[in-house]
Amino acid sequence: MAKKTNVKTTSQKLGSACKKNLQSQSSNCRSLVSSKQQLAVLNKPKQVTTLTHEQIAERAEAIWQASGCLPGRDEQNWCEAEAQLKAELAIA
């Protein structure tokens, strides 16, 4: 009879351990899914809603250089740079 008790006790212990292991794996799986969802949100491209002075200045300089570095067109280059960036970024 001692052997039957040992087998039954061992079986119960294994069953309990398996159940805990499954619960732990399930919890880990939920954490992993949650982490992946959070990562997806973080990696999602963010829409820029405002332009910075530096962005416009860089584009205006590129326009100035592309037009042969013509003098006296600073304001026009700036306005063109701003318009291009707004169109690209879909900013009203």
Residues 53/81, Cβ–Cβ less than 8 Å: no
Residues 66/80, Cβ–Cβ less than 8 Å: no
Instruction: Tell me how far apart the alpha carbons of residues 83 and 45 are, in angstroms, rounded to a whole number.
Output: 22
pTM above 0.75, yes or no: no
DSSP alpha helix (H) spans, the chain: 2-43, 53-66, 74-89
- pLDDT tens-digit series, residues 36-83: 566 665 665 656 578 899 999 999 999 999 999 999 999 999 999 999
Instruction: Tell me how far apart the alpha carbons of residues 40 and 42 are, in angstroms, rounded to a whole number.
Output: 5
List CB contacts of 61: < 8 A, sequence separation 6 or more: 77
